[in-house]
Structure 1
Amino acid sequence: MKSILLKLLFFFFIASQIQAQELLPFVENYNKSDYQGDNQIWNVAQGKDDAMYFANNHYLLRYDGVIWEKYTLPNKTIIRSIMIEGDKIYSGSYKEFGYWYRKDGKMHYVSITKNLRLFDEKDNEEIWKIFKFNGSIYFQSFNDVFIYDGKHIEKIKFPFLISYCFVVDNDLYVASVEKGLFKMNGSEISNPKGWNVLKKTVVHAIEKFQNKTYIFTQKKGIFIVEKGGLKPWNNPLNETLKAATINVAKFIKGNKLVIGTGNRGLFIYDFPTNTYKNIDRNNVLMNNSILSIGFDKENDLWLGLDNGIAHVEVNSPISFFYDNSGLLGSVYSVATTNKGYLIASNHGVFEFDSGKFHMMPNTQGQAWNITKINDKYIIGHNDGTFCYDNGALVKTNNVSGGWNLSKSIISNTYFQSTYSGVLVYDDISKLTQTKKIEDLSKPIKYVAQNKNNEIWAADNYRGLYRVLYDDNFKTKKVENITQQSKINNDFGVKIFEFRNEILFLINNSWYTYNSITNKLEENELFNLNFKDITDVVAIDDDHFMVLQNGILYHIQALGNKFVWNIIQEKYYKGKLINDNLRIFKTNNHYLLNLDDGFISLQLKYENKQNSDVKVEAFNDDNLVSDESTIKYNTELRVNVISGIYGASKPNLFYKLNNNKDFIQISDGLIVLNNLSSGSHSMIIYKHNGASYEKVSEFEFNVAKPWYFSIWMVILYILVIGAILFFYYKWNKLRYIQKLKLQAEELKHQREILEMELKAENELNVQEYEKHILELELQTKSSEVAGKSLSIAKQSEMIENIQGILDSEKDFNKLKSEIRKAIKINEVNKHEWVIFETNLNQIHNEFIINLSKKFPNLTPKDIKLCVYLKMNLSSKEIAPMMNISFRGVELHRYRLRKKLNLSQEENLSKFLLSL
């Protein structure tokens, strides 16, 4: 009973010392969509070329940090095991083993067992493990071991089913499933004394550490080899491991033990501190079943999971606090306490102790900042300010939004920036006694002081203020310095205290205050060393952090020189809270807040970026060597391989053809398209934030396009020559044809000229005849006019005779007078015929048109129309038609009807218009 009690007390003591640490190493998970392979990863190893190789069921996977490659065996069987030996990657599969080698950017397989009858037909032999022992390569199945010395293969068959073989120092152990663990001496085997506890259990690993041999069983936990037998590992973790099912175990640098389990993920046990970390699906691992463990040259872990791959940076200077529960929310500030951590988040203030979160009472809501002063923690909150002291939380004031609490450089006074201005703590031990800076009632984000009765305050939105006050903190003057300095873009001003000097980061430029000009002036030292900085956080007099182009750098100041240490973006990409980065310094670490937790960075962290960079370029999936030529208008994929997967992975940039701009290399891959023909030069640089250092160079040529090749140029010359020849022939033919055409044209012109002359002569004749006709027409017109006169005279004669008849009564005398008048005015009948003929010739066209338009007109009507067109009066027309004046008027009336003229229309004008 006493012995049992002592054991319980001892167990309690050990349990009180061991704890599950909350800070975990960074883990990168790779699933099937990343490597495009199968589920299980049976084996992991790093090659001499720094690439990681994986046995992934039907595939051999290769990952160089840039691209994933996968290969299958010629017989398409499952690959269960791999081992690296020099430039060869040995692999074992179903009734097959051989090795892979890399050439021209691809893996090639050579079978060792081809055409050899090594395997029994009845056995389903698979090579589950490959190891080196006494200069030979051992390929182990569940039934046999094949020993390959480079030329010959020796087969050893065991009388029992083998689980695994293990090499410890110069000894080879063989573990059976039922009969325990055996030691081999040549071809003989023996069961060590006192090891019967291993019977009917599966041994998954045997490792030696600090001169002790540890045996890892699947379900019975861990045993240590001692004289005379085995002793269970006396550690509370051993009981946990029994239930977790051990699959694989390794000792690693730094006195640590890593154990992969079947259902509890990975355990990392630290011997010096007697603590462990459990990485599983509850925090960052995507699968709880660990099938294999491998290492890289940084001594970080590569886990082969039941469903994917995980890279665990166990030796990284960076650790993480993850909150997958979502209870915390976004972390705005964190501080260490003697119990654990005090965390300010957008959900409230939390205390973390013994692996559990606890929200402090009455703190629900946005908490902004935690500042440790002596043993107290001052917490700025949306609802006011709280003080945390040894587990107790007290609210000290109700002023909303304590963003930052800063100490004066010249005194023990503290200034707190809030939503409504600046609070002053003249005695920080009396937190309830505060004063407020008057005339500055606006949201202030940052406050600093390096001169008595003067503070600097940066508005949360825009503007920088210089506030002068008296000894009782009564405001004397408030100046908007950015306005006075004519700085237009003064949004988000940041105040940075460096070695008792206050600097201002405004729109990516650094300023200091000139008290003589009362204006801001650019700071030469910081503008020279820290360009394009978007955020800065002070740590102490010689250390601070900056955010440049989305990447964090830890800066150490050595005099006027600055040492830059990059913190890789993968650790916090998409997790930084803009303009609210805060750093808490502990004895050994910096704590940086993130969206889903925080980062712990070692104080002595120094990122010596790897400079050994290899370039592999591929064109149409073919490896392109340096200074070789690729096809025109094809894609060139350049893999920039550093061989580093952890914290010291370099930050790489490149320049193409001496371009002015440095282009960042994303994930080690450069894709080039639309390259011009000719030579090209690519220079690779690593960047530490301050300077660029050349680490590699790659030159290549782009061939001329096919249409500028030599044969095409010759073809072009021939085609151009043929075109010129045919052009010459065609021009010559055209010239001959032109001469013929000119001759024809001259002949034709001569004919035309002759025809024109003939036509001109005929025209002259016609003109002459026309002139003659016009003369005849004029003559006839004269005759018509004369005849008209004659007719008029006859009319006059008739009137005279009528007068004689009326006046003379003497018949003889009357007779004599009448004869006399008739004789005088006698009209020749032939003259009337000539008159009418001439009249018709003169007005022939008028008569034709009139007859066509009015076919019902009689010749007498037409004759009247002609007289009317000649503008003769009715009195003049009557004798010419041998009718009376009244007869003419009656005839005109009838004619108007035939012509369909209204009463208002003039008959003569109508006839003239025809």
Structure 2
Amino acid sequence: MKSKIQVMYHFFKGLIPALILLCGNSSLAADAVPDKVTAYLQNNFNIKNQVWGIETHPKNGLVYFATNTGLLEFDGLSFTMQESNQIKSLRSICIDDQGTLFTGGFETFGYWEKDEGCRLNYIAISDSIEMNKNDEIWKIYQDKQQIVFQSFTTIYVYDYHTLSKITAPGFMLFMFKVHDQLMVQVLNEGLYLFKNNRFEFVAHSERFQNVKIHAIIPYNNESLLICTEKSGIYTYNYQEFSPWNTSASEFLIYQTFNAATRLNDSTFAFGTILDGIIVSNAKGQILEHYNYTNGLNNNTVLALGKSPYGGLWIGLDEGANYLSQNSSVNYFSTATGSLGTIYSLLKIGSTLYLGSNHGLFKTQLSQNADNLSFSKLRLVPNSQGQVWTLAAFDGEILCGHNEGTFRVTETGFNKICDVTGGWSLKPYGDMLIEGTYTGLVTYKKNSQNQWEYRSRLNGFYEPSRHLEIDYLGYIWVSHPQKGIYRLKVNETKDSIVAIYSYTALKKSLNLTDVYKLNNRVVFSSGKSFYTYDYVNDSIVPFTVLNNALGDYKQATQIIPWEKNLYWFINNNKLALFRISIESEPTLMAEYVIADDHMPGQDIAIIPFSDNNFLISNRNGLAILKKNKPNKAKDTTHIFIHSAFFHGKNKSATRCTFEKAFEVPFFMNSVTFSFSDPSSIEHSGTTYHYRIREIDDHWISTALPKIRYYHLKPGNYHLEIWSDANSQKLIQEFTIKPPWYLSHWAYAAYAVLLLLLAWLFHRNFQLKLSKQRKLLEFEIKQTSLENRLQNTNVELMLTLRYLIQKNESLQNLQQNINEVKNAPEKLSPRFIHTIDKQISQGLELQTKEWKMALHNLKLSQEGYFKRLKE
């Protein structure tokens, strides 16, 4: 049921554009035109967009336009009107070697300087001199060390210090600078050289006295082209004037010539009042013609200005256009857009077949140098609807279509298979195999040696957008939604006998398509490539290929080219790689396609000539020039032109940028405005940026402003790059810390910390000393107490001994007294001696007793006294 719904969906998807075409004309006769003209200014500003002068700044590539209402600045991404109350309108512009911008207009001329807000301010030099009433400055040139301003009546010379006024010999038309010489036409007389602030008549130039000269440009190193308004072009070899009888000169006579410039040594651009511009070679042959019908805003050209990127700015009566002349990619589309989105291309001889969502178209190709043109672009009858693929096998053209598969001939569009949705055709032995909305079908040669439908491969009926056949004969199929299948075919090649599903990997790896590189099956996921491991029967990362491809490992399509050459499509980038078994992949060429031209899927690329490729895009075709593969990358020029910092009711704008700069902390929110003047060569560019220290991923934008808020103090690196060039712009800046986190603050904090540490240490030492003294005192006190205690003990022991001794002596004396009174008498002398000794002992005992009591009293008194202390 689901397969039927998908079939119906694809059927009606192709049927709708077919019905649209059937309601209209089935035969288209619209020629394709180069889509090389980019419109600027028109409707971008509510101003009178007459552009009288165009100059590109030599240092930063910014483009300045002298318009009716003032000076307009273009940085590649946005326009800024530089206003001044002194200016009513501008007619001329010049930028000197130092980058100073001079302008001239109605009754004023001067220069511009940037202020602190990054805006240009006008300074009128003409205020220092009296200008003629209603004078307008039509031309400005740098002449060595002075600037020359020319009006119709007067020449003003400014030497950067003083201003002088020089009257012309007659009424002047325009001044021109060629080969470092200034030439001016004086009406009714001829040409004059302006040298050393004097006029010198050019011999034989009187032939132009009644002719208006609107441009003089170098023809070669020895001669000039004198371009008149309605009398054609003349050559001048500094000896004589000769008519330049060419088709370009003839065209300008009838279209009223107005402006010219030499694009390079062999190419010239001429602007007209009536019919746009033409580009010619040195022989005067018209190579290109652009007017309102193929891209210009209008047909009246007022000014031409060369771009440093190889293109041409065209100032018009309404706005300006840019014509890319040096791009590696040129775009082509039909004037009506009836071609639709192209899905397949096939070139047979000089006939180009284009398969689109509107049907099958064919056209005849012609080429003049590198300029491609189409003629007789027509819808193949009965081919209306979605065309998916075109292929030629053995000289026969087959077309895979929403309604089936068709054989394409010079006279017909004949169906050979009714199975709807012919997505892809591949050789399959001596047959062809095709993936369709409802499975696989095969084709074989019939008796007339033509391809005809053979059979379905029964057993598999899933939508098969892409298919590849590996060296073992397995068929690999990619399902638009489910992922990858591997199919085994029976010997008769009419049935599928085994289906190996890898649809689970659709969710985990997002495998979407199958391709083949050097006979090896490869799968894409949009992030990297995978391949099949036959030994382990598993899909594994293709590490070697991924490492070699760089960003192109994210390619969503691979297109085989020549032997060992493959195109890889990654978003709006295309790269041609040489991939062989013997060596690593090598990048051969790389291109950038504008986003608005890239189709959503299935890009077709075919060789157009030895040096060019044709590629399908959303609105038509693009031609890639093989000899200029990296031009867009080489010319990319991104730079920051202003940075606005703000915060806490304060703000500042920076206009100049060194390698690094600092910003105060109180203005830590920033808006960077960047420019890319080279974007005129690769419109629709996406830019990517990040601050390395903050962002983990790149941020994409199409706007020229980058904002960050409340950045913390520290060093930052802003990086910007574009799709057209992977080279990064890196701007380093620093958010300074607040004063209390500055280096001086940290130094003060360090000194204060050291002081506090010293005070703490000092206080600690004092406390330690006090504690030490207290401890010593306590130790001393304890020692004294211990001695007192010991002394007391000794005294107590002494007292005890004295008491015992006293008692013994008293007992002895008592016994002697008893002896005296005894009847047995001892010798009185003996008794007297003994008694005397005892008495003396008692007296001595009494003295010792008193002394001991005194010492005990003193000891106790000293103890209590110290205890009180």
Normalising by structure 1, we get a TM-score of 0.66
Equivalence for 1:497: 516
1:28 alignment partner, one of 38, 44, 51: 38
- Say if 2:548 is the partner of 1:521: no
Alpha-carbon offset, residue 171 of structure 1: 4.5
The one of 98, 104, 109 aligned to 1:92: 104
- Percent sequence identity is 20
In structure 2, distance between residues paired with 1:369 and 1:93 = 59
Relative distance call for 1:366 and 1:448 in structure 2 (3 A) is same
Deviations 1:863-884 (A, max 9, x none): xxxxxxxxxxxxxxxxxxxxxx
Residue 639 of structure 1: aligned partner: 673
Residue in 1 that maps onto 2:644: 618
Q: Which position in structure 1 is the counterpart of 2:152?
A: 142
Which residue of 388, 391, 399 maps to 1:371? 391
Q: For 1:103 and 1:94, how far apart are their aligned partners in 2?
A: 24
Two-structure CA RMSD over aligned residues (Å) = 3.9
* Alignment equivalent of 1:599, drawn from 622, 626, 640: 622
Q: Does 1:213 align with 2:231?
A: no
Q: Which deviates further from its counterpart, 616-625 or 345-354?
A: 616-625
CA contact (8 A) 1:65 1:668 kept: no
Cα offset for 1:316? 0.6
Is residue 107 of structure 1 aligned with residue 125 of structure 2? Answer: no
Q: Distance in 1 between matches of 2:52 and 2:498?
A: 70
Cα displacement (A) at 1:319: 0.3
Q: Which of the pair has more CA radius of gyration?
A: 1
Query: 1:262 maps to what in 2?
Result: 273
Indicate which of 574, 577, 581 corresponds to 1:556: 577
Q: Is the 8 A contact 2:113 2:122 kept in 1?
A: yes
138-147 or 340-349, larger mean C-alpha shift:
340-349
Alignment check: 8 A CA contact 1:25 1:316 kept:
no
Provide the residue aligned with 1:317 in structure 2: 328
How far the C-alpha of 1:129 sits from its partner, in A, is 0.6
Distance 1:285 1:472 in 2: 62
The residue aligned with 1:865 is none
Give runs of aligned pairs for residues 377-416 of structure 1, distance below 5 A: 377-388=397-408, 392-395=411-414, 397-399=416-418, 400-407=420-427, 414-416=432-434
State the Cα distance separating 1:502 from its structure 2 match: 1.8
2: CA distance, partners of 1:561 / 1:113 = 64
Aligned 8 A contact 1:381 1:401 in 2: yes
TM-score, with length taken from structure 2:
0.69
Per the TM alignment, residue 23 of structure 1 is displaced from its structure 2 partner at its CA by 5.9
* CA deviation map 1:796-830 (0-9, x unaligned): xxxxxxxxxxxxxxxxxxxxxxxxxxxxxxxxxxx
Q: Which residue of 2 aligns with 1:858?
A: none
Q: Partner of 2:466 in structure 1?
A: 446
**Residues of 2 paired with 1:492 and 1:324: CA distance?**
39
> Match for residue 730 of structure 2?
696
How much does 1:320 deviate? 0.4
Q: Which amino acid aligns with 1:698?
A: E
Secondary structure at the counterpart of residue 316 of structure 1:
coil
SS of the aligned residue for 1:444 comes to coil
- Aligned pairs for 1:410-809 (under 5 A) are 414-425=432-443, 430-439=449-458, 440-451=460-471, 453-470=473-490, 472-483=492-503, 487-488=506-507, 493-506=512-525, 508-528=527-547, 529=550, 530-548=552-570, 550-557=571-578, 559-563=583-587, 567-568=591-592, 571-573=594-596, 575-587=597-609, 588-604=611-627, 605-606=629-630, 608-609=633-634, 613-615=638-640, 616-619=642-645, 620=651, 622-623=653-654, 626-629=660-663, 632=666, 635-647=669-681, 652-664=687-699, 666-667=701-702, 669-686=704-721, 694-701=728-735
Q: 1:219 to 1:612 in 2, by over 3 A?
A: closer
SS in 2 for 1:628: strand
- Rate the CA distance shift 1:430–1:165 in 2: closer, same or farther, 3 A: farther
| Among 136, 159, 164, the residue aligned to 1:126 | 136
Question: Structure 1 residues 210 and 190 mapped into 2: Cα distance closer, same or farther (>3 Å)?
Answer: closer
Show CA shifts across 1:344-399 (max 9, x none). Answer: 2222222234544222222222222233557664432234444556x555536243
Unaligned runs of 5+ residues in structure 1 are 1-19, 712-914
Task: Give per-residue Cα distances to partners, 1:123-145, cap 9 Å, x unaligned.
Answer: x2100111234554221111222
Taking the aligned partners of 1:532 and 1:264, their CA distance within structure 2 comes to 47
The answer to whether structure 1 residue 173 and structure 2 residue 196 are counterparts is: no
Q: Which amino acid aligns with 2:422?
A: G
Q: Which amino acid aligns with 1:140?
A: Q
Q: 1:546 to 1:621 in 2, by over 3 A?
A: farther
- 1:138-171 C-alpha deviation (Å, 9 max, x unpaired): 2111122223333444433335432211233355
Change (3 A) 1:43 1:443: same
**For the Cα contact (< 8 Å) 1:637–1:669, is it kept in 2?**
no
Aligned pair count? 679
* 1:309-358 Cα distance to aligned partner (Å, 9 max, x none): 32322101010002231221222223445446332222222223454422
Cα displacement string for residues 771-792 of structure 1 (whole angstroms, at most 9, x for unaligned residues): xxxxxxxxxxxxxxxxxxxxxx
**3-state SS of the aligned residue for 1:645?**
helix
Q: Does residue 328 in structure 1 map to residue 300 in structure 2?
A: no
Distance 1:693 1:136, change over 3 A: closer
What are the within-5 Å matches in structure 2 for residues 187-336 of structure 1? 187-190=198-201, 192-193=203-204, 196=207, 199-209=210-220, 211-225=222-236, 228-235=240-247, 237-253=248-264, 255-270=266-281, 274=285, 276-336=287-347
Task: Kindly provide the amino acid, as one letter, of the partner of residue 297 in structure 1.
Answer: P
Change in Cα spacing, 1:147 to 1:25, as seen in structure 2 (3 Å) is farther
Is there any run of 5+ residues in structure 2 with no aligned partner, and where? 1-29, 365-373, 646-650, 746-869
Is 496-505 or 537-546 further displaced after alignment?
537-546
CA contact (8 A) 1:504 1:510 kept: yes
Identify the range of structure 1 (288-297 vs 415-424) with the bigger mean alpha-carbon deviation.
Answer: 415-424
Distance 1:368 1:255, change over 3 A: farther
Counterpart amino acid of 2:464?
A: I
Q: 1:636 to 1:659 in 2, by over 3 A?
A: closer
Provide the rounded CA distance (Å) in 2 between the counterparts of 1:676 and 1:373: 64
Written as runs of structure 1 = structure 2, the 5 A alignment for 1:14-53 is: 24=34, 26-31=36-41, 34=44, 38-47=48-57, 48-53=59-64
Give the whole-Å Cα distance in 1 for the aligned partners of 2:402 and 2:60: 55
State the match for 2:749 in structure 1.
none
Contact 1:283/1:323 (CA < 8 Å) preserved in 2?
no
Amino acid in structure 1 at the alignment position of 2:390: I
User: Given the superposition, is the C-alpha separation of residues 507 and 293 from structure 1 closer, same or farther in structure 2, using an over 3 Å criterion?
Assistant: closer
Amino acid at match of 1:149: D
1:163 paired residue number: 173
Post-superposition offset of 1:597? 0.9
Partners in 2 of 1:621 and 1:393 — Cα distance?
72
In the alignment, the residues of structure 2 paired with residue 568 and residue 668 of structure 1 have an alpha-carbon distance, to the nearest angstrom, of 19
Shift of 1:446: 1.1
Distance 1:34 1:700 in 2: 37
What's 1:875 paired with? none
Runs of 4 or more consecutive aligned structure 1 residues displaced over 6 Å after TM superposition: 489-492, 648-651
Higher relative contact order (CA 8 A, sep 6+): 2
Deviates more, 1:430-439 or 1:41-50: 430-439
Q: Is the 8 A contact 1:404 1:446 kept in 2?
A: yes
Judge which range, 250-259 or 638-647, deviates more. Answer: 638-647
